[in-house]
Amino acid sequence: MCGIVGYIGERQAKPILLNCLARLEYRGYDSCGIAVAGGKLQVHKDAVRVGVLKEKLPRRLEGKIGIGHTRWATHGGPTKANAHPHCDCTGKITVVHNGIIYNFQQLHQQLIEEGHTFTSETDTEVIPHLIEKYFTGDLEEAVARALAEMEGSYAIAVLMEGRPELIAARKDSPLIIGIGDGENFIASDVPAVLDHTSRVVYLEDGDIAVVRKEGFQVKRKGKVVDRQPHQVTWSVGDAQKGGYEHFMLKEIHEQPKVIRDTIRAYLTADEADSNRDIFTEGGEREILILACGTSYHAALVGKYVLEQLFRVPVRTEIASEFGFLGQTSARSQAVVITQSGETADALKAIKKLRSEGCPVTVITNVIGSSATRLADQVLCTQAGPEISVAATKSYTAQLMALYWMALPLARIDLRRKDSLIAELRQLPGRVQRILDDEEKIAQHAAQIAKYDHVFFIGRGINYPVALEGALKLKEISYIHAEGYAAGELKHGPFALLSSEAPVVAIVAPDNTYDAMLTSIKEVKARNSPVLALVEEGDEVIEEVADSVIVVPKVEPLFSPVVNTVVLQLLAYYAAKERGCPIDFPRNLAKSVTVE
């Protein structure tokens, strides 16, 4: 998705902007650009990577104030003309923008009739023209008047030739100010500024900030408001590869630590009893869990966990569908899971839930994200920054949060509860054993990489794991993959089974075991090669499947954690075998801030 950066201070802006943009590359983009004001404002942009833009820039592009952008095309293709920054007619006002302006056609038409000329197909370009229209000497006021005309979502940074300030504003799209010493930054994401500062201010919807080198002022509806700085605990190292070939591999390997940190944070002194108020006690209730993509798969696991332990009905919904179908009642309590806290579909669902009076708990990995500001309660996962587009450690952290939510109120006897907590504490070690043996998984992945179609099957709590395994594989290796509840294969997908379509079967030693064995036999009868994930000690499946990956023994309720780690590695090594750009898969973005 698009990324915004801005700098004002005593240093040359060009290298700083390029460095900040490079830190945003993980979000996915198709073009980029910067504007720097020395004496004169200069804009350089193209449909290229940041590294290529850097090579193309004039050596003498000097100025201590500037803005930059990575664009992920929505209105108009990925071309040089459509890349940001965009300028007004005079070429003195320039803007970078994340979001979508819904009424841009109308504004565009109106501005043309008033004599403005446009050079791109973007919705963004109306912004500098609106600012030009309203500018009478006060840039902040002109921006405020321009924003008042716009419907939709935006985070913007504005730079005007000859002015000693940057203007930043947001509505439904994230934007922060990074606070330095005699210099300040603007960015859409914290990692962009981490090389320079760890003190940030999260702007809120409706905020307009004037950012100067010696300080900043935030206004809302014309009145000055106080926005306190936060100290970011992530380090630059957390957001770097640390010797791994890809962020994804590094993040997969961080999972034992993530689980350990989560257990430490959640299961403190009074063990699992500290979150009694997440769900209101007593009476009939319904829990609704909403999310997108991988987070939705965590939600599906959460449904099993909460229903088994908490014994209340749980409904899961894809957040992007909730606006069309979703119903709530006075009994509903919602949990929205979003790693980034910025997914537009998730934010829209939260707003709808809140407008219907439904209390919302958000599970997110990003403190200060938009979702945290909309929620009634926030449960922060302890995954640290996740850079790879493919979600891995954030998913595991979400599962941990869901286990933690369910355990305190679990309607199970105390001995079972204690044993589950003890089992949770063993999980980091179990996951580490999988990672220590990753070479074997890489060998299986090399086989999988030869096929164009792969099915994943599971049952019960491992059905969502099959969905996640398929999503991970298709996302980064571009192999067509589908996840199914094992019993569903015979209701249609059987038609596609052949020696050319392997099936990855996730087998857990729970009440689904016998049914999984039957499913594997049925698949074998249709000539599909079967790779089964089995618990150590299992000899029955080994007899039937073509090959097996042995997974450490865990409590079945926690099997999604270990099985998913195996499937993450399977996808990673299959993608590597096929030479795919693992961290930045085509057409995808880390946080999907458009609907």
Q: Which residues bind ligand M6R (CB under 6 A)?
A: 292-295, 338-340, 343, 346, 389-391, 471, 475, 591-592
Specify the amino acid at residue 3: G
β 480-485/453-458 pair status = parallel
Whether residue 87 lies in the annotated active site = no
Query: Which C-beta is closer to ligand M6R: that of 361 or that of 528?
Result: 361
Mark out the alpha helices in 92-153 (DSSP H runs).
104-113, 126-134, 139-149
d(CA 551, CA 212): 56
Q: Of 196, 194, 201, give the one whose Cα is nearest residue 218.
A: 201
Q: Least CB distance from residue 371 to ligand M6R, whole Å?
A: 8
Residue 399 CB contacts under 8 Å (≥ 6 apart), including other chains: 298, 301, 302, 560, 561
Q: Least CB distance from residue 2 to ligand M6R, whole Å?
A: 15
Q: Which two tokens stand for residue 560?
A: 């999604």
Taking each helix axis as running N to C, give the angle between helix 255-266 and helix 414-436, from 0 to 180 degrees, rounded to the nearest 10.
160
Q: Least CB distance from residue 232 to ligand M6R, whole Å?
A: 18
d(CA 139, CA 399): 47
Three-state secondary-structure class, residue 12: coil
CA distance between the termini of the chain: 12
Query: Which C-beta is closer to ligand M6R: that of 92 or that of 297?
Result: 297
Three-state secondary-structure class, residue 503: strand
d(CA 6, CA 89): 22
d(CA 557, CA 50): 45
Three-state secondary-structure class, residue 444: helix
Q: Output phi, psi for 409, to 5 deg.
A: -100, 10
Q: Least CB distance from residue 46 to ligand M6R, whole Å?
A: 27
Q: Of 570, 529, 251, give the one whose Cα is nearest residue 441.
A: 570
Query: Which C-beta is closer to ligand M6R: that of 309 or that of 371?
Result: 371
Residue 358 CB contacts under 8 Å (≥ 6 apart), including other chains: 288, 328, 332, 333, 334
Q: Output phi, psi for 435, to 5 deg.
A: -65, -35
Q: Of 132, 79, 72, 76, give the one whose Cα is nearest residue 98.
A: 72
Query: Which C-beta is closer to ligand M6R: that of 144 or that of 346?
Result: 346
Residue nearest to ligand M6R (CB): 293
Whether residue 590 lies in the annotated active site = yes
Query: Which C-beta is closer to ligand M6R: that of 534 or that of 592?
Result: 592
d(CA 401, CA 267): 11
From 14, 213, 303, 590, the catalytic residue: 590
CB 469 within 8 A of CB 444: no
Q: Least CB distance from residue 425 to ligand M6R, whole Å?
A: 26
Q: Of 79, 98, 96, give the one whose Cα is nearest residue 87.
A: 96
Query: Which C-beta is closer to ligand M6R: that of 82 or that of 396?
Result: 396
From 2, 87, 292, 358, the catalytic residue: 2
Q: Least CB distance from residue 588 to ligand M6R, whole Å?
A: 7
β 215-220/207-212 pair status = antiparallel
Three-state secondary-structure class, residue 155: strand
**Is the CA virtual torsion 99, 102, 108, 111 positive or negative?**
negative
Q: Least CB distance from residue 292 to ligand M6R, whole Å?
A: 4
Q: Least CB distance from residue 509 to ligand M6R, whole Å?
A: 28
Query: Which C-beta is closer to ligand M6R: that of 332 or that of 369?
Result: 369
Query: Which contacts qualify for 213-218: CB closer than 8 Å, 24 or more apart?
Result: 213/8, 213/9, 213/10, 213/64, 213/164, 213/182, 213/183, 213/184, 214/182, 215/184, 216/177, 216/179, 216/184
Q: Least CB distance from residue 584 to ligand M6R, whole Å?
A: 11
Q: Of 498, 534, 494, 495, give the one whose Cα is nearest residue 516.
A: 534
Query: Which C-beta is closer to ligand M6R: that of 126 or that of 175?
Result: 175
Query: Which C-beta is closer to ligand M6R: that of 19 or that of 340?
Result: 340
Query: Which C-beta is closer to ligand M6R: that of 371 or that of 516?
Result: 371
Q: Least CB distance from residue 383 to ligand M6R, whole Å?
A: 11
Active-site residue numbers? 2, 590
